[in-house]
């Protein structure tokens, strides 16, 4: 045997429809508000108890309405304040962007050419900072010292060194001697 699931029926078709109808009739006979209070006071002229109870209930309901209205007004004021603050921040950002525009077509400055050639035959290598004179002498542009190829250098114990490529011996005191001729180089 299969069980039938319970069906949710509207209140007018439920088993207690008679009770709901009686409650509706009773509620329509007892109107709320000031008119209801005055009607109750007329029905029970000797007592003020029901009038005062209804007055108290009405005052509590009005206080609740006032409190809800105040909370809604406060919430609305906060929402307006937040919207206004956001608009001010957006306006300030737009003003800053307008006064300081972002450069979209920026081209960085061009650096030096890797080698700069001069009319007298000399050149400067800007990557290694070496100036080569027309006679082949190389000078370091940052220190002003003559550039010597270290692969052709033989260092001596006393601080002197021999340039085997150019056949020049440089003494510790800076005196330069041509090893082929034995003459002191003055220039």
Q: Please name the helix (run of DSSP H) or strand (run of DSSP E) that holds residue 17, with its range, or none.
A: helix 17-29
Pair 97, 91: CB distance under 8 Å: no
Last residue of a domain, one of 74, 99, 124: 99
The position carrying tokens 């069980």 is: 3
- Report the percentage of the chain scoring pLDDT > 70: 76
Alpha helices in 44-173 (DSSP H): 49-99
**Tens digit of pLDDT for each residue in 6-53?**
544 454 555 677 777 777 776 666 566 566 666 666 666 556 676 677
Could you give the CA distance from residue 21 to residue 135 in angstroms, rounded to a whole number?
A: 122
Could you give the CA distance from residue 51 to residue 37 in angstroms, rounded to a whole number?
A: 5
**Tens digit of pLDDT for each residue in 103-134?**
777 777 888 888 999 999 999 999 999 999 99
**Tens digit of pLDDT for each residue in 133-163?**
998 888 999 988 888 778 888 898 898 988 8
Answer whether residue 117 is part of any domain. yes
The position carrying tokens 């005055």 is: 38
Answer whether residue 2 is part of any domain. no
Residues 137 and 67 in one domain: no
Residues 26 and 74 in one domain: yes
Answer whether residue 7 is part of any domain. no
Could you give the CA distance from residue 167 to residue 180 in angstroms, rounded to a whole number?
A: 7
Q: How many domains does the chain have?
A: 3
Residues 50 and 124 in one domain: no
Residues 90 and 129 in one domain: no
Does 83 have pLDDT greater than 70?
yes
Buried b (16+ CB within 10 A) or exposed e, 21-55: eeeeeeeeeeeeeeeebeebbeeeeeeeeeeeebe
Residues 35 and 85 in one domain: yes
Phi, psi of 67 (to 5 degrees): -65, -45
Pair 163, 170: CB distance under 8 Å: yes
Strand partners, 163: 153, 168
Q: Look up the domain containing 31 and give its range.
A: 17-99
Q: What is the pLDDT of residue 146?
A: 82
């Amino acid at each position: 045997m299969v069980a039938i699931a319970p069906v949710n029926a509207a209140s007018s078709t439920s088993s207690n429809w008679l009770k709901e109808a009686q409650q509706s009739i009773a509620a329509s006979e007892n109107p709320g508000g000031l008119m209801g209070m005055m009607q109750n006071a007329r029905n029970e002229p000797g007592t003020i108890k029901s009038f005062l109870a209804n007055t108290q209930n009405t005052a509590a309901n009005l206080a609740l309405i006032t409190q809800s209205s105040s909370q809604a007004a406060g919430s609305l004021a906060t929402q307006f304040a937040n919207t206004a603050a956001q608009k001010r921040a957006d306006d300030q950002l737009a003003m800053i962007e307008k006064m300081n525009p972002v450069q979209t077509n920026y081209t960085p400055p061009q650096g030096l050419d890797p080698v700069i050639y001069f009319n007298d035959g000399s050149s400067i290598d800007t990557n290694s900072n070496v100036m080569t004179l027309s006679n082949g002498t190389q000078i370091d542009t940052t220190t002003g010292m003559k550039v010597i190829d270290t692969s052709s250098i033989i260092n001596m114990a006393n601080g002197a060194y021999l340039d085997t490529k150019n056949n020049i011996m440089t003494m510790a005191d800076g005196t330069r001697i041509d090893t082929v001729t034995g003459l002191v180089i003055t220039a």
